Amino acid sequence: MSTSAGTGEGDTSPAARLRPRAAKVALTLQFRAAPVGATLMFAATVAVGVLPAAAAWLTKLLFDELARGDHIDKGRVVALAVAVAGIGAVATVLVQLTGYLNELVRRRLVATVERDLFAKVDEFRGLRRFEDPAFHDRLRLAQQASQDAPHNITMFTQEVLRSVASLGAFVGVLFAVWPPMVGLLLLCGGAALLARLSMARRQVAVWEMTSGRQRRRLFYRSLLIDPRAAKEIRLFGLGGFLHARLVRALADATDAELAVARRTALVQSGFAALNALVAGLGMVVVVIGAADGRFGVGDVTLFVAASAGVQGAFTGVVMQAGLAASGVRLLGHYLALMDTPDDLPGGADPVPALRDRIEFRDVWFRYDADGPWVLRGVDLVVPAGHTIGLVGRNGAGKSTLIKLLCRFYDPERGTIRWDGVDIRTMSVVELRRRVGATFQDYMAYDLTAAENIGVGDVAHREDRARVRESANLAGIDADLARLPDGYDTQLSRVHRDEDDARGGVTLSGGQWQRVALARSLMRRDTDLLILDEPSAGLDPEAEHRVHRTLRRHRRGRTSLLVSHRLGALRDADTIAVLDNGRIVESGRHDELMALPDGHYARLFALQAAGYAGHAGPTIVEETR
Ligand SMILES: Nc1ncnc2c1ncn2[C@@H]1O[C@H](COP(=O)(O)OP(=O)(O)OP(=O)(O)O)[C@@H](O)[C@H]1O
């Protein structure tokens, strides 16, 4: 598994290879995001670029006319003055308009890119991407790109348009007055451009390099304000430890960024000084020429305006080129992410209702290619309509088996078959629609009570009767109905509306667990119910009630139950014991209890002894 989205110098990463495309995409993206706004923005930009040059020409004509002494044509002078003032006014309005259009296009772009980005993230059907740090770094950089990159590239295009318009006019003037000035300015501008591009490359390299540190910084930051973490942090006095790590991650990233900023400032100051020198040199040459009578007053003013105009245009282009270059590099990450294939090869076959059995055939799985095997040849049959209890010590691979069945990962070897058909050939979405599940690490959403349950079947989340029925099955209906706003109570004390006078509530651990259970019961047409430790946090009475209700609910349905409370699995049609990545025993409770030295019998006896208050069998040390 790679650990960085970084693309240092001379790299051949996907993001680097995508840069040429990134520039094109950035340009076209703005027309997709805001077609009218972008067109108007470009038109206004060209006009803003041309107007100063036009004003400078009119000013030259005005000064030349004024310099004619007794022969001044007053009408012409007034007309020229009015024209210069008019151009100034139009330019001012256009600058404001361009500012607004820029903002408009920028906001539309950010919305478009972010929408596309998270639609793409939602398309990943497996879990591997979400466990890959390089993916998270890339996502962060791609998000960063969505904030600024298209805008910066747009600004650069505008700047180039504006500058080309100004340069076209100003360069002609400089040629007419003192041609070497053009060469000098071009040389300075070209060198500044190259230096700025190199700075931009360094800047992005730093962002890429520090992306992991930024990710950790965000993690520590969210941990320090997470109400769920607040208890442990306070009790264990972890605040200082986490804070120090946050500060360290921040300092590391800041140091690297500041180093680039210092270098950029230094290089830019050097080029600014060089520009001033060149402007001064030109001025001296032209003023001497004017003293010798070779140039008029108008020529001098025009030359000064033209060299300032050319330098200004170059400075603008150089600045924007730097931002655009970093934008293109960042947008490479956005494109790389958009091109990232799904981690699960897509099957498209429909998933018919389960008629016969689900079967694990010699399933081998590990989370990383070089990691330890978690499942080592699992063979397990789940007959339709049966309840299978899955037992095994911590880390045996029970939840992993469930994750494979939901197809969050694919086995490395072997197959999982749904009525004889390899689930890899089937549509993942359809397969998951046939499954209702409560995971051991279930979610507690900062939503209302009704939504927390309703999202188990999004299409029916507004169906209050169904929501309540599910809550009833999970034994939480009465508790939720008693909340301040009943089912509409926000189950969060943090994410609630400011104008919500009643505020939100948080549930107890066992209540949350029952809400999660209710969520998995929302889907009515599922063929398979998976419950991974559904009652671990329930009080004995609640557990008894929930299991009794679930038993009724499961009747005739296929279910897979994982629990360390073996009593809860006692009546399962088959109990399978997972050990060391294999199913080592399976049968009904009585059959397994009758096995001499059986795993299940030993575990059951241990648990029963705990309740009965005697020593129970000797604990066999783990051999793994
Ligand atoms: N996402 C993951 N990435 C890497 N390793 C994992 C991941 N999830 C689980 N594991 C590893 O796989 C092994 C099996 O974990 P699993 O959660 O399937 O066990 P389990 O039988 O459900 O345990 P428990 O009874 O404690 O819930 C463990 O060693 C665990 O560290």
Q: In this structure, are residues 48 and 101 in contact, taking their beta carbons and an 8 Å threshold? A: no
Residue to probe by mutation, ligand 1, list 399, 530, 599, most atoms within 8 Å of CB? 399
Alpha helices in 398-538 (DSSP H): 398-405, 428-433, 449-454, 464-473, 477-481, 509-520
Residue 82 near residue 90 (C-beta atoms within 8 A): no
How many Cα atoms sit within 13 Å of 125 on the Cβ side? 20
378: β partners: 363
Dist CA 213 CA 225 (whole Å): 19
As a whole number of angstroms, the distance between CA 229 and CA 219 comes to 12
Q: Find the 600 Cα to ligand 1 centroid distance in Å.
A: 20
Residues 6+ apart with CB under 8 A from 90: 47, 51
Strands 558-562 and 387-391: parallel
Say how many Å lie between the CA of residue 563 and the centre of ligand 1.
15
pLDDT at 498: 58
Task: Give the span between the Cα atoms of 504 and 92, in whole angstroms.
Answer: 51
Give the ranges where 487-623 is alpha helix by DSSP (H).
Answer: 509-520, 540-554, 589-593, 599-612
Task: Say how far apart CA 308 and CA 592 lie, in whole Å.
Answer: 92
Measured from the Cβ of residue 539, the count of other Cβ atoms closer than 10 Å reads 11
**Tokens coding 14:** 């996907």
CB of 589 sitting under 6 A from ligand 1: no
Enumerate the CATH 3.40.50.300 domain ranges in the chain, comma separated.
357-612
Degrees (nearest 5) of the Cα angle 603, 605, 609? 120
Q: According to the model, what pLDDT value does residue 495 have?
A: 65
- Give the bridge partners for 416, in sequence order: 360
Count CA within 13 A, CB hemisphere, residue 332: 23
Check whether domain 14-30+114-339 has CATH 1.20.120.1200, yes or no: no
Q: How many Cβ atoms sit within 10 Å of the Cβ of residue 177?
A: 23
Q: Distance between CA atoms of 401 and 578, rounded to whole angstroms? A: 10
Could you tell me if 385 and 545 are in contact, meaning their C-beta atoms sit under 8 angstroms apart?
no
Helices (H) and strands (E) in the chain, counts: 19, 10
407: alpha, beta or left? (left if phi > 0; alpha if psi -120 to 50): left
Residue 528 · residue 388 · CB < 8 Å = no
Q: Checking phi first, is residue 226 left (phi over 0); if not, alpha (psi -120 to 50) or beta?
A: beta
pTM equals 0.79
Nearest CA to ligand 1 atom 27: 394
Distance CA 10, CA 27 (A): 25
C-alpha 132 – ligand 1 centre gap (Å): 16
Instruction: Of 2, 28, 230, 221, give the one whose Cα is nearest residue 112.
Output: 28
Question: Which pLDDT belongs to residue 496?
Answer: 63
Stated as kind and residue range, the H or E segment containing 438 is: strand 435-438
Give the pLDDT score at 7.
40
Ligand 1 pocket residue status of 400, Cβ below 6 Å: yes
Ligand 1 neighbour 456 (Cβ under 6 A): no
* All residues at 6 or more sequence positions from 410 whose CB lies less than 8 Å from its CB, including other chains: 126, 344, 345, 404, 424
Which of 360, 367, 561 should be mutated for ligand 1, with most atoms under 8 A from CB? 367
Query: If residue 151 lies in a helix (H) or strand (E), which one and from where to where?
Result: helix 133-177
Cβ-contact 517, 534 below 8 angstroms: yes
- Judge if the beta carbon of residue 436 lies within 6 A of ligand 1: no
pLDDT digits (tens, 9 = 90+) for 472-529: 988 899 999 999 999 999 998 776 665 565 667 889 888 999 999 999 999 887 899 9
CB 154 within 8 A of CB 25: no
Q: Whose CA is nearest to atom 2 of ligand 1?
A: 367
What separation in Å is there between the alpha carbon of 126 and the centre of ligand 1? 16
Reading the block at residue 551, the tokens are 């038993």
Ligand 1 centroid to Cα of residue 455, in Å, is 26
* Cα 179 → chain centroid: 53
Task: Give domain 357-612's CATH architecture.
Answer: 3-Layer(aba) Sandwich (3.40)
Q: Which stretches in the chain have pLDDT values below 50?
A: 1-10, 620-624
CB 133 within 8 A of CB 269: no
Residue 38 has what pLDDT? 87
Q: Is the ipTM of this complex over 0.95?
A: yes
Tell me which residue of 407, 425, 393 sits closest to 363, measured CA to CA: 407
Asked if residue 131 has its Cβ within 6 Å of ligand 1, the reply is yes
